[in-house]
């Protein structure tokens, strides 16, 4: 059996751990081999494929990014895209495909599974916004990076008695922002799930300053002000129709300065959250997901999405994973209201 594998969408630390586990598990199965498609769905569309053996995955466990490359190519948005992927898999001699991705990549995988293509999904995204799993590969590393940034900003903020605004990733869901704010002891949290009022943020930061502390505001890139539209970077729209976000932190700092004179400084963490070495947690999670993905292929459990519930690795369905975005529940936000304004 020849198993194709690809990584699609925004990269994240931990992808190589999944790839390594897929290759090593397949190597231990009778008559199974793995090939890798380059750059997400572009790979099968262009039949851009490379062998992936034990030697190719040696030493990649601690490497960020993906040795296969990634892209936001969307076959579903193309005429005959699903059939082209099916033909590409056949041309590469693949009997099955493991797609490692977030809502977009696994959305395509789901469409393929519905069309009878033998595919299994592995959930990854720093945003952690896929349903049917407790966590996605890459999220833990991103939270660690954002938390370290909050810690570092605190010392300089305190020296200068300054307010700091830290913008983190999170298009539709505030998981990175929430966890970094909690772990870093931030004072205010602004996330896409709940529109924010600049005056409330000012009041919260003012109270913190009164206590002699330097306020830290963590804002997710997709957070929306009550009085306005999404703040955009002015960049383009990708093949899945997502506009490029970024800029809400700078916008907030400017508004705060206009209204309250606190003159916050803004830091945008951006793609640093997706770069570098995966945490031990993401290496282990990626390894467990990769192993189980091959088990699902060997069982011909098409349409499965590998998931974590509690500490158990299990198989959910792609339909469930991409059916609805997993956002931060209001009761969870409310539970932290005594810590985070
Ligand atoms: O992969 C998810 C994500 O990191 C989002 O948090 C962010 O909005 C988006 O990708 C950025 O995408 P790109 O790398 O294409 O700019």
Q: Is the CB of 169 under 6 A from ligand 1?
A: yes
Q: Is the CB of 104 under 6 A from ligand 1?
A: no
Cβ distance 70 to 102 under 8 Å?
no
Question: Could you read off the pLDDT tens digit of each residue along the chain, which spans 341 residues?
Answer: 999 999 999 999 999 999 999 999 999 999 999 999 999 999 999 999 999 999 999 999 999 999 999 999 999 999 999 999 999 999 999 999 999 999 999 999 999 999 999 999 999 999 999 999 999 999 999 999 999 999 999 999 999 999 999 999 999 999 999 999 999 999 999 999 999 999 999 999 999 999 999 999 999 999 999 987 766 667 788 999 888 888 999 999 999 999 987 889 999 999 999 999 999 999 999 999 999 999 999 999 999 999 999 999 999 999 999 999 999 999 999 999 999 87
The token pair that represents 310 in the structure block? 């509690």
Give the Cα separation of 189 and 337 in Å (integer). Answer: 10
Single out the residue of 201, 262, 261 nearest to residue 227, CA to CA. 201
Predicted confidence (pLDDT) per residue in 181-232, tens digit:
999 999 999 999 999 999 999 999 999 999 999 999 999 999 999 987 766 6
Cβ distance 191 to 177 under 8 Å?
yes
Q: Is the CB of 123 under 6 A from ligand 1?
A: no
Q: Is the CB of 171 under 6 A from ligand 1?
A: yes
* Domain spans of the chain, in order of start: 2-138+278-323, 139-274
Cβ distance 43 to 67 under 8 Å?
no
Q: Which fold has domain 2-138+278-323?
A: Rossmann fold (3.40.50)
Which CATH superfamily is 139-274 part of?
Answer: Phosphofructokinase domain (3.40.50.460)
Q: Tell me the whole-structure pTM to 2 decimals.
A: 0.97
* Pocket-testing residue among 7, 8, 9, 10, ligand 1, by greatest number of atoms within 8 A of Cβ: 10
Give the Cα separation of 248 and 103 in Å (integer). Answer: 23
Give the Cα separation of 21 and 107 in Å (integer). Answer: 23
Give the Cα separation of 104 and 274 in Å (integer). Answer: 17
Give the per-residue pLDDT at 232: 66
Which residue owns the Cα nearest ligand 1 atom 4? 10
Give the per-residue pLDDT at 257: 95
Q: Is the CB of 126 under 6 A from ligand 1?
A: yes
Give the per-residue pLDDT at 137: 98
Write down the residue that tokens 């997706």 correspond to: 274
Q: Is the CB of 130 under 6 A from ligand 1?
A: no
Cβ distance 56 to 23 under 8 Å?
yes
Give the Cα separation of 247 and 244 in Å (integer). Answer: 10
Write down the residue that tokens 């977009």 correspond to: 104
What is each CA distance from 142 to 9, 149, 221, 239, 289, in whole angstroms? 16, 11, 14, 24, 18
Q: Assess whether 127 carries a catalytic annotation.
A: yes
Give the per-residue pLDDT at 228: 73
Atom of ligand 1 nearest to the CA of 244: 16
Give the per-residue pLDDT at 172: 94
Give the Cα separation of 14 and 140 in Å (integer). Answer: 10
Atom of ligand 1 nearest to the CA of 72: 15
Cβ distance 187 to 204 under 8 Å?
yes
Which residue owns the Cα nearest ligand 1 atom 8? 171
Predicted confidence (pLDDT) per residue in 321-334, tens digit:
999 999 999 999 99
Tally Cβ neighbours within 10 Å of residue 131. 18
Give the Cα separation of 212 and 148 in Å (integer). Answer: 22
Q: Is the CB of 9 under 6 A from ligand 1?
A: yes
Q: 10 CA distance to ligand 1 centroid (A)?
A: 5
Atom of ligand 1 nearest to the CA of 171: 8
């Amino acid at each position: 059996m020849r198993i194709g594998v690809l990584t699609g969408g925004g990269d994240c630390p931990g992808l190589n751990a999944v790839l390594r586990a897929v290759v090593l598990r397949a190597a231990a199965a009778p008559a199974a081999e793995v090939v890798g498609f380059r750059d997400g769905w572009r790979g099968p569309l262009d039949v851009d494929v490379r062998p992936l053996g034990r030697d190719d995955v040696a030493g990649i466990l601690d490497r960020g990014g993906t040795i296969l490359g990634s892209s936001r190519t969307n076959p579903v948005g193309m005429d005959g895209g699903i059939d082209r992927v099916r033909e590409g898999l056949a041309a590469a001699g693949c009997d099955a495909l493991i797609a490692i991705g977030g809502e977009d990549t696994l959305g395509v995988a789901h469409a393929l599974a519905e069309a009878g293509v033998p595919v299994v999904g592995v959930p990854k995204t720093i945003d952690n916004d896929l349903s049917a799993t407790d966590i996605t590969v890459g999220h833990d590393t991103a939270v660690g990076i954002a938390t370290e940034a909050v810690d570092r900003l605190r010392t300089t903020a305190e020296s200068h008695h300054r307010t700091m605004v830290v913008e983190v990733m999170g298009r539709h869901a505030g998981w990175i922002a929430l966890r970094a704010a909690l772990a870093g002891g931030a004072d205010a949290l602004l996330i896409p799930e709940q529109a924010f009022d600049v005056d409330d943020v000012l009041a919260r930061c003012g109270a913190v300053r009164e206590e002699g502390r330097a306020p830290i505001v963590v804002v997710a890139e997709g957070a929306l002000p009550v009085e306005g539209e999404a703040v955009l970077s002015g960049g383009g729209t990708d093949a899945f129709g997502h506009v490029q976000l970024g800029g809400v932190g700078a916008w907030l700092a400017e508004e705060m300065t206009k209204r309250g004179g606190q003159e916050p400084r803004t830091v945008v963490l951006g793609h640093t959250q997706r770069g570098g070495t995966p945490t031990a947690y993401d290496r282990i999670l990626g390894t467990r997901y990769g192993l189980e993905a091959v088990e699902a292929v060997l069982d011909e459990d098409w349409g499965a999405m590998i998931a974590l519930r509690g500490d158990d690795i299990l198989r959910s369905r792609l339909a469930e994973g991409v059916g609805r975005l997993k956002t931060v529940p209001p009761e969870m936000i409310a539970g932290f209201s005594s810590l985070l304004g």
